[in-house]
Every structure is written in C-alpha cells, then in structure tokens.
Structure 1
Amino acid sequence: MSDAAALLQTISAAIADAAQVARREPDDVTLVAVSKNRSAEEIEALIEAGQRHFGENRVQEAAGKWPSLRARYPDITLHMIGRLQSNKADEAAALFDVIHSLDRPSLASALARAEWKGPTYLQVNIGEEEQKGGVAIADLPGFIDNVRESGLNLAGLMAIPPAEVEPSPYFALLAKLARRHDVSGLSMGMSGDFRSAVMLGATVVRVGTALFE
C-alpha cells in the first residue's frame, strides 16, 4: 500500500468511526482533500488511491494544475473552498464543480451572471472574527433569501471556527443555523477537528495536512 493510500484509509476510517458514534452513515460525509500548494504528483498519488473530491483556495492555482489532471481523471469533483473575488466568478464557474465560500451579495450576483449552477455553500462568519470572510450570523436570513431568489443552487452552510479554541460549539451552532433555515449541507471540519464536525452533523469535511503529510 502506498503512503497516500495508507493516509486516505486512516482518515476514511476515522470519519466512519465518528459517524458511527453519531449514529450516522459514513457515506453521508464527503471527504474533500485540500490540495492547495500541493504538486500534481502528490495529488495524483491520492487520486490513484481512490480519492475523488479535491479542494483549492485560489482560482489561479487551480487553473494552473487541474485542467491536465482532470483530462486524465474526468470523474474528479473540484471544490472552491477559499475566498472568491467577484471578478473571478466566470473563471471559477468554468473550473469548479462546487463552491463553498459565497459570503456577500456582490459575489452572488456575479455567480448568477456567470450562470453558475453547481452546489453552493454560504460561508458564515461563525466566530464573528473581523479578519475572516463570511456573512454575519445576523445577516444570514436575508442573505439566504436573496440567494434562493437569485436561482443559485443553495447546498448548505460552511464555516471555519476560530483557531485554538474548542470548535464543537461552533459546529453545533452552524448545524442549528442550517436547521433553522431548512438547509441540509454542512461544510465544516478540517484536519485537526473533522471528527468532532462529523459527530455534529458535517456532510463535507475539508482535510489537507492529515492527508498529505
């Protein structure tokens, strides 16, 4: 077994264990391998091990390495998980299959103009941190209404809890907000906290370091 296959097996087993604790089906959780700053060779090793969902933070980086990879592996699903500039909406719509970082009306309008139809997650500033992107919790109801009216495919909510604090209360809050607004998808949890996220309802976890190192 290759190193990539062993790491993928370990993470997949941890997701399955966490799902079992929460009395959930492991297949209800999608593992997105965060491949930002990773070489095509590193990515291809994970693809060969069976991984099919990958996440990138920047349009330019994704455009530089994914077209050739997707030509060889057409069943890949590519996720945009970083902050997206409105002027990159057309390019993102052409490159990605899923967007996790819709956080403002101007971007929603730009994606609608780009005729983006893929699953879209609204990024919530769950810790109310000034330095982070994401719609404020107080503004979420109106923003959800606007997104639904725009015709975008609202798949769920995404959040990144504050660093160096217990993330579980923030995951629980995001799950509560999703239920309140009748949204089913929850993109939450990364290398250090994906187990807690799965136990609290994550449908997508975004794992980088733990899969590549």
Structure 2
Amino acid sequence: MSLTDITQQITKAEAKAGRPAGSVKLIAVSKVQPKERVAAVLDQGHRLFGENRVQEASDKWPAFRETYGDIDVHLIGPLQTNKARQAMALFGTIHTLDRPKLANTIARLAQETGNCPGLFIQVNTGEEAQKAGVMSTETDDFVETCRGLDLPVLGLMCIPPIDEEPSLHFALLQKLAARNGLTGLSMGMSSDFASAIALGATHVRVGSAIFGARVAG
C-alpha cells in the first residue's frame, strides 16, 4: 500500500456511496513512525496527520512545520487533563474529548488563550471497560454540556471493538451524530474505512497502510 493507493481507495468509496470527491479527509496516522517515513509522505504533498501522544507530537512537528509550512496535526489518542494546554497549542483538532473534567479544562483554557481546536467527542460504542469515551446513552447529555461551555464540537469519533462488525458501530455513531445535529464523523481505519465512508465518515485514520508497519518505541 501507499498514500496514492489509499487516496484512490477513498475516492472510489466516496463515489460508491454517492458522496462528493474530497468529502472525506485522510488522517495519516504518524504515531511512532520514523521521521524519514513521515518526511516521505510530506514530500508527496500530504498535510493532515494524526498523533496519539502530546509529547511525541511536540518532539516531531515543530521542526517539520519549519520545513514544510502549514501542517494540520490532529490528536487521536487519549488526552490527560494536565496536558490539555500543550495539546491545544499543538493540534488543530482533538478527536478524544471524553469526559466532563476535560471539557471544563479545555473551556477554561480557551477563555484564557482565545484559542480552541476543533473537537470530536469520543463515544465508546462497544461499552468496553478498558476503552475511553462516553457511553452511547450518555452522548446526548455530554454534547449538550459541551455546547453549554461554548466548545466547538465538530462531531463524534469511535474505535469499534476489534472482534465485532465495525459497520454496526459506524451506523450507531452516525445515528448519534445526526440526532445531535453534528456532521463530523471520525471513524474508520486501514481495514474498514470503506464501510465507514459508506456510513458517513468525514475523517478516516490510516497508518501502517501508508507508512508501513509501526516501529515500536
């Protein structure tokens, strides 16, 4: 696979779903990838990337921005409240807003700094004890809470359980988003983004299919 292959597959999935070309944004998941692999994707013109950790992003992206100019980096991993200030300065969008304490912290910092990234609320559609995210039944109330804090909620995000049919979770997320008047859907990864696009994904997260197998570290 390559960036070109993935881009072509996304275009085909958009067309099959009757959606306009370019309606789905590809987040190239660059977590724990060697910098030379990231540079190779940047050299191909791609400018939207996803990171799991604030510290890794802070070590990687300032230098790339000096070389390549404007790059849109999204946080797609869990965010500790004490890292919120740093995350809000680093990322254009945070996909993992998942609890009231974090929402209150982001709202306070946004008031203080006059800046707030776009936000996706992470929904734990599989109700997995080990996974972050608000429960499906709590999503409506949490969206209302975030709106009451004047937070820029763009949509919802989910990571389906690895042993369940992902399209069921994508359909649930789509239903929850529509019910709350949200248009953003961050869902779909390397193995299932075509079905996510068919069910309305606006952002898909693809890593190893673009960069190659991740390097542990």
Q: TM-score range by the shorter chain?
A: over 0.9
Find the counterpart in structure 1 of residue 51 from structure 2. 56
Query: Can you list the C-alpha shifts for 1:68-112, whole angstroms capped at 9, x where unaligned?
Result: 011112221000000000010000011111000000000011111
Q: Is the 8 A contact 1:124 1:134 kept in 2?
A: yes
Amino acid at match of 1:98: T
> What displacement does 1:164 show?
2.6
SS at match of 1:28: coil
Structure 2 unmatched runs, 5+: 213-217
Q: Is the 8 A contact 1:101 1:122 kept in 2?
A: yes
TM-score of the aligned structures, taking structure 1 as reference length: 0.95
Find the counterpart in structure 2 of residue 155 from structure 1. 154
Q: Within the alignment, does 1:188 sit opposite 2:183 as a pair?
A: no
- In 2, Cα distance between equivalents of 1:153 and 1:73: 27
Find the counterpart in structure 1 of residue 31 from structure 2. 36
User: Quick one: percent identity of the two aligned structures?
Assistant: 50
Find the counterpart in structure 1 of residue 173 from structure 2. 174
Query: Can you list the C-alpha shifts for 1:5-31, whole angstroms capped at 9, x where unaligned?
Result: x71110001001111111001311000
- In 1, Cα distance between equivalents of 2:67 and 2:150: 32
Amino acid at match of 1:120: L
Q: Is the 8 A contact 1:54 1:77 kept in 2?
A: yes
- In 1, Cα distance between equivalents of 2:62 and 2:169: 36
Aligned-residue CA RMSD (Å): 1.0
Q: Is the 8 A contact 1:40 1:69 kept in 2?
A: no
After TM superposition, list the pairs within 5 Å mapping 1:59-78 onto structure 2: 59-78=54-73
Q: Within the alignment, does 1:98 sit opposite 2:97 as a pair?
A: no
Amino acid at match of 1:194: F
Amino acid at match of 1:83: P
- In 1, Cα distance between equivalents of 2:132 and 2:171: 19
- In 2, Cα distance between equivalents of 1:72 and 1:114: 29
After TM superposition, list the pairs within 5 Å mapping 1:8-19 onto structure 2: 8-19=3-14
- In 2, Cα distance between equivalents of 1:10 and 1:107: 37
> What displacement does 1:39 show?
1.6
Amino acid at match of 2:142: F
> What displacement does 1:194 show?
0.7
Poorly superposed stretches of 4+, deviation over 4 Å? none
- In 2, Cα distance between equivalents of 1:114 and 1:82: 20
110-119 or 45-54: bigger deviation: 110-119
SS at match of 1:124: strand
Q: Within the alignment, does 1:135 sit opposite 2:100 as a pair?
A: no
Q: Would you say how many aligned residue pairs link Structure 1 and Structure 2?
A: 208
Find the counterpart in structure 2 of residue 114 from structure 1. 109
> What displacement does 1:165 show?
2.1
Query: Can you list the C-alpha shifts for 1:112-164, whole angstroms capped at 9, x where unaligned?
Result: 12214221000000111111000011111111011011111110000000003
> What displacement does 1:41 show?
1.1
- In 1, Cα distance between equivalents of 2:74 and 2:170: 20
Amino acid at match of 1:67: P
Amino acid at match of 2:192: D
98-107 or 116-125: bigger deviation: 116-125
